[in-house]
Structure 1
């Protein structure tokens, strides 16, 4: 097993708990040390997108998911112990079900948006 930064391990825990805001902070700390690492930036953008969706920022979700999709492509099929085929399939699923004709809904109307299915991430041996 590789030794990854502690924040990367914490990212998996927080992501699987649904704490996407904390995921952003954990990944941003690592990404700030190496801004050329588009793998981390892609995971960061996906986490931000899911967080945006949770409070009705549909336009922000679409934009962040598209950017995450683009950033993660070069790292397929697997990088840093993460199966990116599963992640990219999830992003494509989100982009498919997120409405194109809505930019924002109030928090009280969140339930009218299609619910995103959960994604659980696992660290695998390289």
Structure 2
């Protein structure tokens, strides 16, 4: 299957930890079909990670929860992406979030947060 170029660029940016750019890449193609909950889930995931990076823990918790809700229906694999693995990652991230709504930027940067490298199986 030929995937949209923005989707493939999203995967690269995600793996580079450029979560703000991830959102920008997928938003354009999601805006064409807002019923696509897979893309919306990936958008929410990247926004949640972006919030965590800057200490907005409440925003991170909200976005990660939404990402899980949207992506769950696409298990196990969708668009060549191991969605089940992504969902496990979201669970790990949520467990690492402190019980506060906000932490300082310095605290956020000092957090040991799980990492995930995304791979797209282009044969799907």
What TM-score does the superposition give when structure 2 sets the normalisation length?
0.94
The reply on whether 1:51 has 2:24 as its aligned counterpart is: no
RMSD: 1.1
Q: Find the aligned partners of 2:91 and 2:109 in 1 and give their Cα distance.
A: 21
The reply on whether 1:105 has 2:109 as its aligned counterpart is: no
Q: Across the two proteins, how many residue pairs are aligned to each other?
A: 123
Q: Find the aligned partners of 1:111 and 1:39 in 2 and give their Cα distance.
A: 29
Q: Find the aligned partners of 2:79 and 2:87 in 1 and give their Cα distance.
A: 15
What TM-score does the superposition give when structure 1 sets the normalisation length?
0.93
Q: Please show how residues 6-45 of structure 1 align to structure 2 within 5 Å.
A: 6-45=5-44
Q: Find the aligned partners of 1:65 and 1:50 in 2 and give their Cα distance.
A: 8
SS in 2 for 1:71: helix
The answer for unaligned runs of 5 or more in structure 1 is none
Q: Find the aligned partners of 1:3 and 1:90 in 2 and give their Cα distance.
A: 26
- CA displacement at 1:116 relative to structure 2: 1.2
Q: Deviations over 1:39-96 (max 9, x none)?
A: 0000000000001000100000000000000000111000000000110000011111
The answer for unaligned runs of 5 or more in structure 2 is none
